Structures are given as structure tokens and as C-alpha cells.
Amino acid sequence: MVDPAKDTAAVLVGDIFSDEAAEAGLDFVHFNGMSGDYYMAEVTGAGVGLLDYDNDGDLDVYLLQGAMLGPGKTIDDAILPPPGEPPFKDRLYRNDLGDLDIGDGRLSFTDVTEESGLEATGYGMGVATGDFDGDGWVDLYVTNLGANQLWHNNGDDTFTDVTRGSGAGDELWSVPAAFFDYDGDGRLDLFVGNYIAADFDNRTICRDLAGGLDYCGPGAFAPLADRLLRGMGDGSFEDVTEAAGLTGGFGGALGVIVADFNGDSKPDIYVANDGMANNLWLNQGAGTFVDEALLAGCALSGQGKAEASMGVDAADYDGDGDLDLFMTHLTGESNTLYLNDGSGLFEDASVDSGLGPPSRLFTSFGTGWFDYDNDGLLDLLTVSGAVKKIESQARAGDPLPLHLPNQLFRNLGGARFRDVSAEAGAVFELSEVSRGTAFGDLDNDGDADAVIANNSGPVRLLVNHVGNRNHWLGVRLVGAESLVDQLGARVALVRPGGEVLWREVRTARGFASAHDPRVLFGLGEDEGYDFVRAHWPNGGVEEWRGLESGRYHTLRHGQGSRIESE
């Protein structure tokens, strides 16, 4: 492990990340359809998804597209040039890296949208991944400004839209979504976070303090109710929102994390709401939830203010075995780190951790915990772009005066972080309107890369050049019968001396994005560890010893040594 006092980021040679999207063939450019009417939706999306749709062992990329907005608008009205001819649709890029063992860092993507059968022409917001029918092929749920879509992976490199009749459709403005098994029946359920009720036929006009046109804030619209859909096991879903007690207190949802926050082994739901109190729906068992965010201290900022709350992620960053929350907010607010005391009560540790102050100049969306340098400590990336005109950019005549650079925060240990963006590479000098980001080891070289979805701009592929200088161990937790990623599973890597690295199998996190389901343990300079222990989502603990470091292992439910005491 790295000595926390010794900040290795400063001594790393060369860039930590570089953008290799163009070289790798990831040529997607987002189009937001803005035409001068300041529709809020045009600056809201979009997320990005990483998934291995063809089960070939590497992560493919799903990117969400926009469209023209507003009645009667055509691309001739577009202020920013469209990427080609309409209709615009989401794109699926196949990763041609191939075999797991190659890991040579040469990435190459092919746009396979047309042959995949994906016909996602909605105004894209977010994406969730999960194998809802348990057939071993990961499926997609796409949230839109308008009708959402459930895409079934046919297992032959194609998808079928099975929304109709599935009960998973939603015509509202949805942003985040997450597959999870809230009732422990072994079938994936779905949480859909809905945002606000905006009508594009009748534009709501918002102005800045001088009376100039500007984008509206969420307060100009009514927040929409989120939905909890119970997976019936036959590919259909039942709306159990009301029955589950999710009956009020909704805000405009932009982020969602499903995880066990209070240590009772039942998955809870944390919803990050834009400008309104966040929800912490604690799972009561028997299929019901109660919102305890206020008492838990994670409804509002430490100052008692409802903040913008865009992206959110949860992880055990301080190694005490519970899940802490990190959220991104608006300029003038600060990103928030909520430290869990183990019982599901949180303290705002934004200031003391060093994460708050450097974020106050930024409006950030996508985020996530990841150990970019494999030192065993979870770091953070925040990707940014404003939602209200930035004065200096507007003054300079920028048609989309919202761009900001992204930030990388290194975990120094001792619950302290440092902004290392300036040392992280030229890609951190870019100023763009970034929204979603997803983490995953796209080149299978043992460290976490990131894909960043920009609004009205090209996608960025941040390839990690430093992580695998340290030792690592990767695991994929799957079901007993098929290659179904065990969403919600917890994995502990126990090191000599008893230090434990806790990680979770979770794809839905950050801002409206889907991440690598695999777990990557950074081992630092010492590859030694005692064992890996998997806590399966529906009970049962198994242990593996002797897994070789420096490579990925698939851990199948039932094939480890069963541990009775936990």
C-alpha cells in the first residue's frame, strides 16, 4: 500500500489519462438540438453506458443522442451543427479488443448500431444495464425525454425493443435508472428516476436577473414521481411504487444509487434530486421503504440547503466497511461527501476531506469512485458543464456558454483528497459541457479507464496510463447458472494484517450512466492478500484464496468456499 503521506501523483511521469476516442474509432458527437429557445432538456443530457453486450470479455460503449427540440423545429434551426442527417439515434460501439488476455492497450471500436437492431431515436438521457431475464446476456434500459425503452439482448449481437407490454415503459422525462433486486427474490427490479414536468409545445421562459433569457432551473417545473418496478421474472415488470411506500417527497431525480446504507443487508435507494431534498428510501423488508434522508443527514447540505444534486456514487472510501456518498452540485455550492457512521447516519465531510472547496467553481454532473492509480484507495472523477450561462463565455459570443474543465481528485488516505487535475494530462485542460461518465477497464489492462459523454461535443475516452504500474486483481461475480452479473454483491479483499478493501458490484451510478460490473482491486506495490470474500446479494458468503493477481477472475456463485459465520 501507498503511504498516504507520500503523494505519488506528483512523481508520476507522463499523463495519467489521455483521450484516445478518435484513435480508437469512438467517433460519436452529441447533438442537443438547441435552437435558441433555452429548453432545459437540451443542456441536461446525457449519460453513457459500458457493457459487454456480446459477452466477448471486453466493454462496449452505448452513447445517448439528442434531437431537435421544440414544435416544428428542424435541423435548419439548430444553432450548433448536427452530426450528419436526422434521425439521430443512440449508438452502440463494439469494442474489438477481443480476448481478455490480450490487454495490449490497443483499443478499437466499431459502430454496430445498425446491425444491433437498436433503434433508439428518443431524446436520450440515461442508460441502465442489467440482465433482467437472467439469460446471461446483459440488457439495456434507456431513459429519455419521453418514452423510455427496454432493450432485450437476444444473445446474437442484436437487441429487441420489448418495452411494450413489459410494464417498464415511462412516457415522462426520466434521467437515472437502476436495476437491483430490492425484494430478494432473485429477479432484477428496476428503479426509474423521473425529473420534471416540462412541456415542449409550450415553452416556459426563464430569465436571468437582468431580464435576459437563460435556462430554467428545476424550480420552474413540477417534479415528477419516481417509479419502482418489480421484476416478475418473465420479462415483465409491475409498478409497485405506491405499494412500496414511495408515495411522496419526490424531487426532480438526476441520480440514483441502490445499495445497503444502514448495514441491514437490504438494498436501499438513494435519490439525488435537483434543487430539492434528496431521498434515502430505507428498505424495511416486506417490500416497503421509508424515506429517512433528513434524519440521516443526506437530504440537504451541511448548511441545511437543498442542492442541485446531479451525479451520485457510493463506496467505502475510508475502509471502515460502510458506504459513503459523494454527490456533484452547482457552481457556488460544493460537491458533497457524506460520511457514513455505519448505521446509515451521515456527516457532511466535504470541507474536512478537501473535496468541497475546489469544487465550488464547478457545476459537475457525472462522477464516481474509482482507484485510478491502483493504490487501494478510491479516488474521484467529476465531469463538469454549467447549466446557466457563464458570463465570460456569453460575453465572448459562445453559443453554448456552459463549458468547464473536469476534475480528478486523488485519495491521499486519512480521509483527505487533493485535486490532481493539473497533473492528470492534457485532457483535463479541455473545457467542455460534460455530463455522464462511466468507468471500466476498457482495454483490460488492469486499471480503470473512463468514458465521458459531452453535451454538444465529442465523446472522450480517457485511457489510464498509470494504474497498472501497481498490482491489481479483477473479479467478476456471476450467478451459478449463467453469466449474470450479481448486482448488489459485496466483495471484500482481505490483506495480511486484516486490512479490508470493500467493493460492490454496481453498474448504475454517477449521472445516468452504466459502469463496468467487474470489481477491480488496486493492490499498490505489494500484491499480497489473504483471500477474497463475496457476499452474494441474496445471502450467502463465499471465499476464494490464491487468485492470481494481475488478471481478472470470474467468481461463480456456489463455487467458492462457503463461509457460515457471516
Partner 1 sequence: MRGIRTTRRSVCPVLLVLAFLLQGCGGASREGAKRASLVSIPVPDLVSATDEVREQLRAQQNELDRLLEGDLSSAELVEAFGDLGLLYITYSFLDAAEVCFANAERLVPEDHRWPYLLGYIFEIQGRLEEAERVLVRAAGLDPADAPTLIRLGRVRLEQGRYEEARAHFEGVLAIDSGSAAGIDGLGKAAAGLGDHSGAVEYFERALELQPTASSVHYALGLAYRRLGDLELARKNLDEGGDGAVLFVDPLLQPVAQLGRSAELYLVRGAQAFAIERWEEAAAHYREALAIEPENFTTYKALGFCLQKLGDLDGAIDLLFEAIQTGASTDPARDRLEHSEIYRILGGLTALQGRAGKATELFQTSLELNPDRPDVLSKLANALSRQGRFEEALPHYNRALELIPDHTEFLVQRATALTNLRRSREALSDFRRAVELEPENALVRQQFAEVLEFLGDDGAARREREAAIRLAKQGGGQVDILFREALALVRRGELEPAVGKFGEILEIEPGHTDARFQLASVLGHQGHLDQALAEFEQVISEAPLLRSARRAEITILLLQGRYGDARVRLNRALEALPRDRQLAMAFVHLLAAAPDARVRDGRLALEVAQRIYAAGPADPQVVETLAMAYAEAGQVAKAVELQRQLLEQVSAAGNGGLVNRVKLRLAAYEQGSAWRATSPREIIEANLAADAAGNAEPGSMSGT
- Length of the chain, please? 566
Around 208, how many Cα atoms within 13 Å sit in the side-chain half-sphere?
A: 12
Residue 46 preceded by cis peptide, ω within 30: yes
Residue 465 CA to its chain's centroid (Å):
22
Q: Is 381 left (phi over 0), alpha (psi -120 to 50) or beta?
A: beta
Q: Is 356 in the site for partner 1 (CB under 8 A)?
A: yes
115 DSSP assignment: H
- Contact segment (CB under 8 A) with partner 1 among 210-218, 265-273, 526-534, 554-562 equals 210-218
Per DSSP, the chain holds a count of helices (H) and strands (E) of 4, 42
Sign of CA dihedral 538, 541, 542, 546: positive
Residue with cell 454496481: 506
Task: Give the β-pairing of 139-144 and 124-130.
Answer: antiparallel
Among 334, 406, 407, 456, binds partner 1 (CB under 8 A): 334
Instruction: Round to whole Å and give the CA distance between 177 and 226.
Output: 10
Q: Rank residues 14 and 211 by Cβ distance to partner 1 and give the closer one.
A: 211
Q: Given candidates 171, 199, 548, 564, which one binds partner 1 under the rule CB under 8 A? A: 199
Minimum distance, C-beta of residue 400 to partner 1, in the bound complex (Å): 11
Output Rg (C-alpha) for the chain, integer angstroms.
22
Q: Which stretch binds partner 1 (CB under 8 A): 266-274, 303-311, 470-478, 513-521?
A: 303-311
Q: Which of 149, 194, 279, 331 is close enough to bind partner 1 by CB under 8 A? A: 331
Task: Kindly state the smallest distance separating residue 385's Cβ from partner 1, in Å.
Answer: 17
> Taking a C-beta distance cutoff of 8 angstroms, is the pair 329, 310 a contact?
yes
Stretch that binds partner 1, among 115-123, 157-165, 206-214, 518-526 (CB under 8 A): 206-214
Report, in Å, the least distance between residue 391 CB and partner 1: 5
Q: Which of 101, 114, 208, 566 binds partner 1 (CB under 8 A)?
A: 208
Q: How many residues bind partner 1 (CB under 8 A)?
A: 43
Residue 294 CB, nearest approach to partner 1 (Å): 5
The dihedral over CA atoms of 69, 73, 77, 81, expressed in degrees to the nearest 10, equals 50
Q: How far is the CB of 45 from partner 1 (least distance, A)?
A: 19
Q: Other CB atoms closer than 10 Å to residue 207's CB: what's the count? A: 11
Residue 120 or 145 with smaller CB distance to partner 1: 145
Q: Which residues pair with 152 in a beta bridge?
A: 160
φ and ψ of 285, to 5 deg: 80, 175
Indicate whether 198 belongs to the interface with partner 1 (CB under 8 A).
Answer: yes
Binding segment (CB under 8 A) for partner 1, from list 298-306, 453-461, 496-504, 529-537: 298-306
Q: Are 174 and 195 in contact (CB under 8 A)?
A: yes
Residue 202 sits in the site that holds partner 1 (CB under 8 A): yes
Residue 81 makes contact with partner 1 by CB under 8 A: no
Our finding on whether 171 is near partner 1 (CB under 8 A) is no
Nearest to 485 by CA among 515, 529, 445: 515
Q: Which of residues 215-274 bind partner 1 (CB under 8 A)?
A: 220-222
332 sits near partner 1 (criterion: CB under 8 A)? yes
Q: Residue 329 or residue 557: which is nearer to partner 1 going by CB?
A: 329
What is the spatial distance between Cα 451 and Cα 458, in angstroms, rounded to a whole number?
11
- Residue 199 vs 548, nearer CB to partner 1: 199
Which of 81, 305, 342, 426 touches partner 1 (CB under 8 A)? Answer: 305
What are the backbone angles phi and psi of residue 56, rounded to the nearest 5°? -100, 10
Return the range that interacts with partner 1 (CB under 8 A); candidates 176-184, 201-209, 449-457, 518-526.
Answer: 201-209
Q: Please give the Cα distance from 229 to 258 (Å, whole number).
A: 14
Contacts of 351 (CB under 8 A, 6+ apart): 302, 334, 357
CA distance 201 to 295: 40
What is the Cα–Cα distance from 437 to 117, expressed in whole angstroms?
Answer: 25
Decide: residue 424, CB within 10 A, 0-12 exposed, 13-18 middle, 19+ buried: buried
Kindly state the smallest distance separating residue 334's Cβ from partner 1, in Å: 7
Which residue of 231, 297, 311, 458 would you call a contact of partner 1, by CB under 8 A?
A: 297
Kindly identify the residues of this chain, within the stretch 386-445, that bind partner 1 according to CB under 8 A. 389, 391-392, 394-395, 397, 399, 401
The residues facing 192 across adjacent strands are 177, 227
For residues 164 and 395, which CB has a smaller minimum distance to partner 1 in the complex? 395
Report how far residue 367's alpha carbon sits from residue 383's, in angstroms, rounded to the nearest whole number. 6
- Which residue stretch of 134-142, 183-191, 351-359, 503-511 sits at the interface with partner 1 (rule: CB under 8 A)? 351-359
Closer Cβ to partner 1, 295 or 480, answer by number: 295
Q: Which of the stretches 69-77, 115-123, 350-358, 437-445 binds partner 1 when contact is defined by CB under 8 A?
A: 350-358
Number of CB atoms found within 10 A of residue 362's CB: 24
Which H or E run includes 92? Answer: strand 91-95
The one segment of 82-90, 128-136, 155-163, 211-219 that binds partner 1 by CB under 8 A: 211-219
Question: Which CB, 76 or 548, lies closer to partner 1?
Answer: 76
- Candidates 212-220, 233-241, 452-460, 534-542: pick the segment binding partner 1 (CB under 8 A): 212-220
Selected binder of partner 1 within 10, 22, 213, 480 (CB under 8 A): 213
Give the residue from 309, 417, 434, 437 showing the smallest Cα distance to 367: 437
Binds partner 1 (CB under 8 A): choice among 295, 422, 426, 480: 295
286 contacts partner 1 (rule: CB under 8 A): no
How many Å apart are CA 336 and CA 329, to the nearest integer?
8
The one segment of 300-308, 317-325, 531-539, 545-553 that binds partner 1 by CB under 8 A: 300-308
If binding is defined by CB under 8 A, does position 524 make contact with partner 1?
Answer: no
Residue pair 257/326 in contact (Cβ under 8 Å)? The answer is no
303 touches partner 1 (CB under 8 A):
yes
Binding site for partner 1 (CB under 8 A): 197-199, 202-205, 207-213, 220-222, 294-295, 297, 300, 302-305, 331-332, 334, 345, 351-352, 356-357, 360-361, 389, 391-392, 394-395, 397, 399, 401
